[in-house]
Chains A and B, each alone.
Chain A
Amino acid sequence: MRNLLNFLVKYNNLIIFLFLQGIAFYWLTTGNNYHNSVMVKSIQSVTRGVEQRISNLRAYLNLREINSDLAAENEALKNTIEKLAKKENHRLTPVSDSISRQQYTVTIAEVINNSVNRQKNYFTLNKGRRQGLAPDMAVTVSDKVAGVIAGCSENYSVAISLLNIDFRVSARIKTSGYFGSLNWNGYNPQYAVLNEIPQHISISVGDTVETTSYSAIFPEGTLIGTISDVKKSGSDFYKIEVELFTDFRKLRYVNVIGNLQKPEQQSLEKQFQ
């Protein structure tokens, strides 16, 4: 007993260290799955309040830029309305039933916390389950890829950013149609890497890269970026550097896109796997 006590007194430092380190590692290994632990959830509601305030301040400072972005988007939308209106006037075009065949839902959310300087970047949106958001919904900025929702609370969501070394998205080259997998390599927030494109295809710098609909997350043809550099890696595949369209450093208003037909597609696919 005395020996035990002596041991405890002598190494109390190490024991506390190992104990606390154990807590940290437990969190580290289990907590990557966002918003799992109850403790984090309750405390983060406090930090969210602070984040919201900081975000409000930033929103005020960026008003001019946001204004011009909105004006540009408005213009584009008005043009589409014009085109659609013309189409409807045309008697012979078939009417597409937008209620029963609607595939995607769009929700606009504001980014209240964002980072680009880590290896695993996430951003927080100010809408959550109550507003109809759910994990695995796509996040885009005016038709350009931004990320995927990783977890939702009642009124907030956390999305895994494209700038996260764990993020992968199925992408293809628009001109040739060949697809591969795109991910960020952690270097520069403006570039990502497209892999698994075989070397017998001719690729030119400047080609557009867009998403496929294979994962049933992003709508087909959501823009990602343009090819800025092509390297031949040791294997049979190219290593293609893609300059991203989205500027993650000024992410503010994003569209959250849900795929209504995803359960159907996935349940069908499951039957054959």
Chain B
Amino acid sequence: MINSILKYALIAAILILLQILLFNNIQFSGYINPYVYIMIILLLPSVIPSWLLLLISFFTGLIIDLFMGSPGMHASATLLAGFSRPYVLSVIAPRDGYEPGVELSMQTYGFRWFLVYASVIVFIHHLALFYLEVFRFTGFFRTLLRVVLSSAFTTAFILLAERYRKR
């Protein structure tokens, strides 16, 4: 128990640091802004109580907000991603359901399952985040394009990281 909490804390710290130090500095023609810290929400165990999931999502977003100096938009978007996670999980559940002790990883449930899982959550998160960021509907389709491209990039990173994640 303690061991797994430590493991998740370590993963969270690494991802937040990566986000702040590396990915916040990526500028690719104004369209691609990856937000990879959302992987923290993806990797949490499947049997986590929903209130805890929501709190973790909210505070993850809050930490990113404080570092980026943005008012509440990461908190809001990550919270939405955390809220929708149980529904996404139940829709794409494998035939035998989820086993309580097994973590949600590519190894256990396969590449295709993880791809769908990651891309849906990442898309929800980015959709909320990018529209909250501009906070207007002028240039609707341009923002949508930014959402799609950035989601693709983030998902690609998460798949790579998941592929090489030890243990």
Binding site for B on A (CB under 8 A): 12-13, 16-17, 20-21, 23-28, 30-32, 40, 43-44, 47, 50, 54, 113, 115-120, 122, 124, 158, 165, 186-189, 249
Contacts and interface: CB of A to CB of B under 8 A. Distances in A.
Contacts of A122: 69
Contacts of B24: 115, 117
B76 A25 contact: yes
Chain B interface SS verdict (over half)? helix
Interface in B114-140: 132-134, 139
A16 B51 contact: yes
Interface stretch (B7-15, B25-33, B99-107, B154-162): B25-33
Kindly list the 8 A-B residue pairs having the minimum CB-CB distance in the complex, ordered from nearest.
Answer: A31-B71, A27-B72, A24-B76, A28-B72, A24-B72, A117-B27, A24-B75, A13-B50
Contact of B26 (A23, A117, A186): A117
Contacts of A40: 66, 71
Given A44-B69, A158-B69, A249-B27, A118 B33 contact: yes
A21 B62 CA distance: 12
A13 B132 CA distance: 23
B30 A12 contact: no
Interface residues of B, number: 32
A141 B34 CA distance: 29
A23 B67 CA distance: 18
Interface of B: 21, 24-27, 29-30, 33, 50-51, 54-55, 58, 61, 66-73, 75-76, 79-80, 83, 132-134, 139, 142
B137 to A, nearest CB: 13
Given A21-B76, A118-B33, A13 B51 contact: yes
Contacts of A17: 54, 79, 83
A117 B25 contact: yes
15 contacts: A13-B51, A21-B79, A23-B58, A28-B72, A28-B76, A30-B71, A31-B71, A47-B66, A117-B24, A117-B26, A119-B133, A120-B70, A120-B134, A158-B69, A189-B30
Contacts of B68: 115, 118
A44 to B, nearest CB: 6
A44 B30 CA distance: 27
Given A20-B55, A23-B58, A186-B134, 9 more contacts: A13-B50, A13-B51, A17-B83, A27-B71, A50-B67, A116-B27, A117-B33, A118-B68, A124-B69
B146 to A, nearest CB: 9
B61 A24 contact: yes
Nearest to A54: B21
A115 B26 CA distance: 10
A24 B30 contact: no
A120 B133 contact: yes
Contacts of B58: 20, 23-24
A162 B30 CA distance: 15
Contact of A118 (B66, B71, B72, B133): B133
A164 to B, nearest CB: 11
Contact of B30 (A21, A186, A249): A186
B76 A189 contact: no
Contacts of B142: 186
Contacts of B132: 28
A236 to B, nearest CB: 20
